[in-house]
Chains A and B, each alone.
Chain A
């Protein structure tokens, strides 16, 4: 079972490079929640939302890599910790689907349901790709 999981996980390693079909990024990010950070914007500082997007897009792939490596090493504590962190930052910016998948990864649901760990990792990658597109689009809009 473990070997099967590992094989599935390895097969997903290049998933992030797969282009996302147009039209599926719409619900990836709760833009209302993200744009609510405008009220914290200080006049004399750089665009806070752009800064938050940049931080997320730099940090999240590292967390996802840590999750994947922890899964390959069967290090559940490390996996849960990385998933916990990604869940927090995703929820903060309204990236709810990534946050929800991380919640499942942080828990033990994949150990008791038919939804395997590999399926959850694939889901995380897909949702992150959609969120990235939406975030980059928002970033570009703000910098124009």
Chain B
């Protein structure tokens, strides 16, 4: 997965980059909050971010707050890294919008598994976003059928958006996922089909009578 690092300390940055590449991630490196802010607003921005809290310019907390205000359908999963310890720092970080928090010096295995959690969350968000997209398309089609449809009182054809009159089944097929299987209901059988059959029988019988 693509991961962005925002870390102003060269040694820490190199270690983090090496670890992430070893674990198979694609890494984008930034040296301060400003550069990370620019990179994370790109259309194809990384989905996972590891941010140092204390950076010149925009710090990690401010970066979290800004990122959470973006109208992003799949917001980045943010892990804050800091040398500060204590509950107050954790609360500040999570309140600013971080998903997780690790104190430096961090345990490599702990970072690896916490990143795995991030990967799972991002994959879940991506999958949900795709489903929402599919539902929105389906909902748009349903809405077309829910609106007022001009229908002929006699032949029951429906007038479409191009001002053409279409059979009900043609119109519904075009505006929904529904398909038709044709049959005859009992009432129509009695009122329409049965008289036609009777009439057919009579005409066949008359045809078979010998001509005098």
Contact = CB atoms under 8 A, between A and B. Distances in A.
A35 interface: no
Contacts of A48: 14, 18
- Name the interface size band of chain B: 10 to 19
Interface string B1-33: 000000011111011001101100000000000
B10 A88 contact: no
Interface string B52-95: 00101000000000000000000000000001000000000000
Nearest to B105: A91
Given A51-B14, A56-B11, A81-B54, A88 B83 contact: yes
B104 interface: yes
A59 B14 contact: no
A140 interface: no
A108 B21 CA distance: 38
A89 B22 contact: no
Interface of B: 8-12, 14-15, 18-19, 21-22, 54, 56, 83, 104-105
B25 to A, nearest CB: 14
23 contacts: A37-B18, A40-B15, A40-B22, A48-B14, A51-B14, A52-B11, A52-B14, A55-B14, A59-B9, A59-B10, A59-B11, A81-B54, A85-B8, A87-B83, A88-B11, A88-B104, A88-B105, A89-B12, A91-B104, A91-B105, A92-B15, A92-B104, A92-B105
A86 B116 CA distance: 29
B54 A84 contact: yes
Interface in A57-102: 58-59, 81, 84-85, 87-89, 91-93
A17 interface: no
Contacts of B18: 37, 40, 42, 48
Sort A-B residue pairs by CB-CB distance and give the 3 closest, nearest first.
A89-B11, A55-B10, A59-B10
A55 B21 CA distance: 19
A29 to B, nearest CB: 13
